[in-house]
């Protein structure tokens, strides 16, 4: 996965400068960064995100954009479209810093343009590194959870709560068993197997969380889980199951 970068600056010269600085950083670092858009007008950013939604984007925004939409207004709109956005303001108006806090747009940095090019570059680099760092931590947390939707409700479980997921009797639906209850939702076993590496494919219609195995009988080929559920497993899965259980015991 690459981390998308978007710039919005109404001064063509300053837009070119920040673009060159960021492209230089991307070129000489192995970080998964990608400059998606360098815009002179905030509407370009809004239209771009409407057509090509981004997640965990890094946004460098000037506050005074010379239109009826300033950088703070743009940040609010971005936040609605990319809830995990990393907002970084670049401006000559240092007195605007308290205003950004008052508007609660969640900016992670505020960089003044009125400084030497070397200092300005270093500040941009520092902000970029910080944005990467917090994005990585956020994604690690997200990946440790299991999330799904039922109607207009979003459910979020820690992976330690997940026991197993199997196909339901209702077409295209899955049954989720957790430590404390069961749920049904629409998805595919194959997609969840790719998305959640902590799940082990027991057979074509069932994924299990090895960490919630209470007992595995390799004679009867029966697994009992911590929620008292039980599942038979094919003989071909015996070696993989033993390997997974040994990993758990080692930790």
Residue 145's pLDDT is what?
81
Instruction: Please state the length of the chain.
Output: 251
- Structure-token match 């956020």, residue found: 138
Is there a single domain that holds both residue 170 and residue 218?
yes
How far apart (Å, rounded) are the C-alpha atoms in residues 195 and 173? Answer: 17
94, 112, 143 - which closes a domain: 143
Strands (E), the chain: 3-8, 33-39, 58-62, 86-91, 107-112, 145-150, 153-158, 162-167, 173-178, 182-186, 200-203, 206-208, 213-217, 222-225, 230-232
Provide the residue range defining the domain that includes 42: 3-143
Of 216, 198, 215, 218, the residue nearest 207 (C-alpha)? 198
Number of C-beta neighbours around residue 249 at 10 A: 7
Residue 103's pLDDT is what?
52
How far apart (Å, rounded) are the C-alpha atoms in residues 84 and 125? Answer: 20
Is there a single domain that holds both residue 18 and residue 139?
yes
Is there a single domain that holds both residue 9 and residue 126?
yes
Is there a single domain that holds both residue 22 and residue 133?
yes
Is there a single domain that holds both residue 167 and residue 57?
no
Q: List, in order, residues 6 or more apart from 71 with CB less than 8 Å away.
A: 8, 42, 61, 62, 63, 64, 65, 89, 91
How far apart (Å, rounded) are the C-alpha atoms in residues 120 and 224? Answer: 60
Residue 49's pLDDT is what?
95
Give the β-pairing of 206-208 and 162-167: antiparallel
Is there a single domain that holds both residue 110 and residue 80?
yes
Q: What are phi and psi of 145, to 5 degrees?
A: -110, 160
Q: Supply the CATH number for residue 179's domain.
A: 2.40.50.1020
Residue 59's pLDDT is what?
96
Count how many domains the chain has: 2
Q: Read out DSSP for 196-213?
A: -TT-EEEETTEEE-GGGE
Number of C-beta neighbours around residue 58 at 10 A: 26
Is there a single domain that holds both residue 137 and residue 150?
no
Residue 246's pLDDT is what?
81
How far apart (Å, rounded) are the C-alpha atoms in residues 77 and 99? Answer: 16
pLDDT tens sequence for the chain (251 residues): 578 999 999 999 999 999 999 999 999 888 789 999 999 999 999 999 999 988 889 999 998 898 999 998 999 999 889 888 999 998 876 655 555 554 556 788 889 888 899 999 999 999 999 998 888 777 666 566 888 888 888 898 988 899 999 999 998 899 999 999 999 999 999 989 988 888 999 999 999 999 999 999 999 999 999 999 999 999 988 888 888 888 776 65
Q: Are 1 and 34 in contact (CB under 8 A)?
A: no
Of 235, 164, 177, the residue nearest 206 (C-alpha)? 164
């Amino acid at each position: 996965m690459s981390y998308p970068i978007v710039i919005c600056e109404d001064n063509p010269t300053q837009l070119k400068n920040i673009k060159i600085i960021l492209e230089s950083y991307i070129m000489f670092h192995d970080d998964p960064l990608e400059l998606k858009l360098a815009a002179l007008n905030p509407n370009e950013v809004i239209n771009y995100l409407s057509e090509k939604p981004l997640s965990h984007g890094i946004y460098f925004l000037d506050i005074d954009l010379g239109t009826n939409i300033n950088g703070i207004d743009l940040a609010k709109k971005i936040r609605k479209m990319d809830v995990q956005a990393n907002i970084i303001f670049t401006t000559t108006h240092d007195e605007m810093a308290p205003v950004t806090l008052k508007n609660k747009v969640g900016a992670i940095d505020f960089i003044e343009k009125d400084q030497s090019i070397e200092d300005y570059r270093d500040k941009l680099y520092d902000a970029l590194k910080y944005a990467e760092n917090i994005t990585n931590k956020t994604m690690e947390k997200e990946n440790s959870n299991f999330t799904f939707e039922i109607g207009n409700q979003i459910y979020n479980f820690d992976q330690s709560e997940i026991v197993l997921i199997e196909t339901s009797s209702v077409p295209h639906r899955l049954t989720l068993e957790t430590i404390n209850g069961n749920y049904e939702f629409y998805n595919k076993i194959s997609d969840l197997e790719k998305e959640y590496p902590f799940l082990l494919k027991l057979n074509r219609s069932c994924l299990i969380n090895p960490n919630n195995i209470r007992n595995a009988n390799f004679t009867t080929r029966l697994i009992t889980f911590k929620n008292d559920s039980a599942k038979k497993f094919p003989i071909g899965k015996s070696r993989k199951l033993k390997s997974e259980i040994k990993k758990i015991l080692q930790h």
